[in-house]
Structure 1
Amino acid sequence: MRQLLAWTLAAAAALAAAPAAPTATEPDCPRLTSRWHGDNRDRLQHVIDTYGTCSGHRGAVAAFDWDNTVTKNDVTDATLSWALRHDVLPRPARWKDTSAWLTDAGDRALTAACGTGAGGTGAGGSLRTSDRPRCTDEIVEIREKGTTTSGAAAFAGTWNHRHTVPQYAWVPQLFAGRTPARLSSYAAAARTEALAAPVGATRTLGTHTVPAYVRYYDQQRDLIRTLQRAGFRVYIVSAGSEPVTEVWSRGVGVDAAHTIAIRSVLDHQGRITTRNEGCGGVGENKGEVIPYIDGKRCWINQDIYGIRGPAAWRKQPWRNRIAVGGGDADTDVTFVSDATGAHLVLDRNKAELMCRAHDDADGRWLINPMFIEPLPRKPEPYPCSTTAYNAPDGSRAPVRRPDGSVVPDQADTVY
């Protein structure tokens, strides 16, 4: 109760420039019905009532990450897993062509394990991965860790670590040569398979053990449906592949027009290339800019609010910011922080995001344990004062508040 009172007082001050809060519950006030941790449902309901039809308003924006925020487990990984087990990945002429940052060591490892277009079927054919565990191992290891199975760096060079991460950009690039419709069909098959697998199920890819199941969170379905009924425009903003994310987002009533993810540039025959669309003054690129950390803010500003050029990277005035933001990882920290009504966090122990959430500088952060297989309490504090911040150059630094003060280390108090 004390936490809810403190949050209400902070929200009342902050909402001076926002829609007026409702004075009573009206028949057109959509209600959340699912169970949340602590007082999170009440706090979310307050934001819905304040920004939505209950107060006579429409058009506020809510934005959510997808993987491990709306679903348990990663749907892009589920699609890649299905593709590897069904021999549908295109065979590249050269592995170096798949990423601007792929190292010589990465190229050699993939060529030795998987072959290339010179190996018999020709570039544009399909890789045989279902019965080649070495090939599957290399691809999964690079996707998961950015290293080869021998431990060598798979990616090297210079990139802004708040705009992209090469192994995220690499997954859509692996499907270069396929059409978005084909990729969507793979995602649909993977979705059927993952939803049928029991909770907790795993499978082996090469020598890697990976989740075999995905579930929609009932609480997030309820939240998205309630927001939409209350007149919110609800968007998904993901660092996954857009055709894949669109297949899944339809399951919570979010259409393709409201789904933002990595958008591959198509060739003149409508096939995916290794290039993707850009944001914030950056045009077509080979993965330098994707919806990742600050990139998620950029795409929200560009695609939802029509802000173009370098200004899209900057935090906007209240009227051009989302009301509700939800995420689970450091890749979500910037856009979730921008929310004016509620910063919703699914706790996966990601340091920069959890430092912001536990510090709760504006009184509007809501931490919820994962709804399926939640993590236990993290025994040691988050290193907010030293190394939790992901710096653009890849180094680690203290997390700072907007006024420049350093966030002290934070204990895990919600679990």
Structure 2
Amino acid sequence: MRHRRFRPYRHIFAWTLAAAAALAAAPPNAPAPRTNCPRLSAGWYGDNRARLQEVIDARGTCAAGGNGGRPVAAFDWDNTVTKNDVTDATVSWALRHDRILRPASWKATSAWLTDAADSALTAACGDRVPVGTPLPTATNTRCTDEIFEIREAGRTMSGAAAFAGHWNHRRTVPQYAWVPQLFAGHTVAELSAYARRARAEALAAPVGATRTLGTHTVPAYVRYYDRQRDLVRTLRRAGFDVYIVSAGSEPVTEVWSRGVGIDAAHTIAIRSVLDRHGRITTRNEGCGDVPASRGEAIPYIDGKRCWINQEVYGVRGAAAWQRQDARHRTAIAAGDADTDVTFVGDATGAHLVLNRNKGELMCRAYDNADGRWVINPMFLEPLPRRHGLYPCSTSAYTAPDGTPGPVRRPDGSVVPDLADTVY
């Protein structure tokens, strides 16, 4: 049983010939956009507001004569629409309130969990509570530390690798897939309830607040970015269909996306396969030609492209992993990390990037090969300028087998090392 059936593909025929024509530059005698178009608020870096507004005016319902279809915008969630990670906030709340159920086997929670991680979790979390009942993580610091260190860093508290084996590094990362697997045995409604409580707690905490989780110091607060909330609202008023595509747990992301007016039907994240009783399992839904598995195809790097192609445009099979024609790609896409680089790069109007100093994403953004990359510092607690150049020509790209390499343009040429200039 799945989290929900696949959504209708409302954009298969949404772009008409008029929409395709809008991709080209307007002729010199084209009428100006109507003056009552939704306008973005101030507060953007440099000329970013004007550049985004130009795309909204050209692609939305305010385009002169209308564009004949509903363009799409897609946003990553964590650290793109919000400051800080909402999945981590939910994991933190769950660990502090004894909501993780003891699995029959830690090894069975992930296809890639190592013997070292299995032993560390078993030793730290013990076997005193029955399988399927809550672990006492609120008081058992060792158990909390092992779980959070594996989630955060992919290693045990002793430094041993928590995941090993073979996976496509542009389609998944085991510790991201492990989060919904940690909630196996719960219903979607239960996980959503935990996310709502974590959300209330994180929004009430002051900006900059931290807390101790085991022996880890973690952010205690989350904030919606006002500029991103305004951008989403403006896009929707201008006739765009706006989607979230996140590598977090889908029930968690859905709780948060409602806060910017985006419903569950427009929220895409890691979807757990449910058992016949409606409880979360350690299996996730697949994408394209990859079937349901224990996390082989999540919305991560190329996986985000696949999920958008499949869920928004109805592209099936292996083709969902490929870049589509302009009529079947987003107009605006926004992200903050290398996990977002593929779907953000697919946008035809603007590639919006929040600068968190992530290698491949920033190499492509600063290279600005098509002139459509829009870079903005983080809206809260922006990072200082990165020291030294981004290693674009040598190691900023991650290959499917996990090896680093140069970032290449579509024509195969190598992007040179680039400086950080927007911070």
Task: Give me the whole-angstrom Cα distance separating, in 1, the residues matched to 2:59 and 2:267.
Answer: 22
The answer (yes or no) to whether the contact 2:73–2:331 under 8 Å persists in 1 is: yes
Equivalent of residue 75 in structure 2, options 52, 64, 71: 64
Aligned to 1:140: 148
Residue 293 of structure 1, CA deviation: 0.1
Q: What displacement does 1:28 show?
A: 3.9
1:152 aligns with 2:157: no
Gaps of 5+ in 1: 1-14
Shift, 1:19, TM fit: 6.7
In structure 2, stretches of 5+ residues that fail to align are 1-19
- Greater fraction of residues in helix: 1
Per-residue CA distance 1:41-61 (angstroms, 9 max, x = gap): 000000000000111134100
Query: What's the counterpart of residue 18 of structure 1?
Result: 23
Pick one of 241, 247, 257 that aligns with 1:249. 257
Alignment-derived partner of residue 121 in structure 1: 129
1:35-50 mapped onto 2 (5 Å cutoff):
35-50=43-58
Which SS does the other structure have where 1:123 is aligned?
coil
1:272 to 280, 284, 294: 280
- The answer to whether the aligner puts 1:100 opposite 2:111 as a matched pair is yes
Q: Indicate which of 299, 315, 318 corresponds to 2:326.
A: 318
**Deviation string for 1:171-229 (max 9, x for gaps)?**
00000000000000000000000000000000011111100000000000000000000
Equivalent pair of 1:87/1:126 in contact (CA under 8 Å): yes
Matches within 5 A, 1:347-358: 347-358=355-366
Kept in 2, the 8 Å contact 1:20–1:50? The answer is no
SS at 1:106 equivalent: helix
| Residue of structure 1 in register with 2:373 after alignment | 365
Identify which of 100, 121, 132 aligns with 1:89: 100
How much has 1:280 moved relative to structure 2? 1.1
How big is the shift at 1:23?
3.3
8 Å CA contact retained: 2:351, 2:374: yes
| Equivalence for 2:208 | 200
**How many angstroms apart in 2 are the aligned matches of 1:336 and 1:278?**
21
- Counterpart-to-counterpart distance in 2, 1:28 and 1:180: 42
The letter for the 1-side match of 2:296 is E
CA distance in 2, matches of 1:153, 1:138: 12
Q: Secondary structure at the match of 1:53?
A: coil
1:161 counterpart residue number: 169
- Kindly indicate whether residue 61 of structure 2 is the aligned counterpart of residue 53 of structure 1: yes
Mean CA deviation greater in 81-90 or 121-130: 121-130
Equivalent position to 1:381, from 377, 386, 389: 389
Identity of aligned residues (%): 75
Deviations, residues 351-397 of structure 1 (Å, cap 9, x unaligned): 00000000000000000000000001111110000000011001100
User: Could you say which residue in structure 1 is the equivalent of 2:411?
Assistant: 403
Q: Matched residues in 1 for 2:398 and 2:220: separation?
A: 30
- Cα offset, 1:124, TM superposition: 1.0
Q: Report the equivalent of 2:221.
A: 213
| Residues paired across the two proteins, number | 398
CA distance in 2, matches of 1:214, 1:301: 30
AA matched with 2:56? I
Does 2:122 align with 1:111?
yes
- Secondary structure at 1:54 match in 2: coil
**SS state of the match for residue 166, structure 2?**
coil
- Match for 2:416: what amino acid? P
Which sits farther off after the overlay, 237-246 or 17-26?
A: 17-26
Contact 1:383 1:409 (8 Å CA) reproduced: yes
* TM-score, length of structure 1 as denominator length: 0.94
Tell me which moved more, 93-102 or 381-390: 93-102
Deviation at 1:283, TM superposition (A): 1.2
CA distance in 2, matches of 1:16, 1:184: 43
Alignment match, 1:3: none
Answer yes or no: is the 8 Å Cα contact 1:385–1:406 preserved in 2: yes
Q: Deviations over 1:81-117 (max 9, x none)?
A: 00000001111111111111000000000000012xx
Once the two structures are TM-superposed, the CA of residue 311 in structure 1 deviates from its matched residue by 0.1
Q: Using the alignment, how far apart are the partners of 2:173 and 2:138 within structure 1? A: 27
Query: Does structure 2 retain, via aligned residues, the 8 Å contact 1:169–1:290?
Result: yes
Q: 1:261 aligns with which of 258, 261, 269?
A: 269
In the alignment, does 2:351 pair up with 1:346? Answer: no
Three-state SS of the structure 2 residue aligned to 1:346 is strand
Q: In the TM superposition, what is the alpha-carbon distance from 1:16 to its structure 2 partner?
A: 5.9
Task: Give the Cα separation in 1 of the matches to 2:399 and 2:338.
Answer: 12
**Alpha-carbon distance in structure 2 between the residues aligned to 1:228 and 1:198:** 30
How far apart, CA to CA, are the structure 1 residues paired with 2:422 and 2:35?
Answer: 34
| Alignment partners' CA distance in 1, 2:393 and 2:321 | 25
Kept after mapping to 1: 8 A contact 2:338/2:361: yes
- Distance apart, 1:33 and its partner CA: 1.2
Deviation at 1:342, TM superposition (A): 0.1
> For residue 224 of structure 2, what is the amino acid of its counterpart?
Y
Q: Deviations over 1:207-256 (max 9, x none)?
A: 11100000000000000000000000000000000000000000000000
Shift of residue 26, structure 1, vs aligned partner: 1.6
3-state DSSP class of the match of 2:62? Answer: helix
Instruction: Give TM-score, length-normalised by structure 2.
Output: 0.93
Residue 346 of structure 1 aligns to which amino acid in structure 2?
A: L
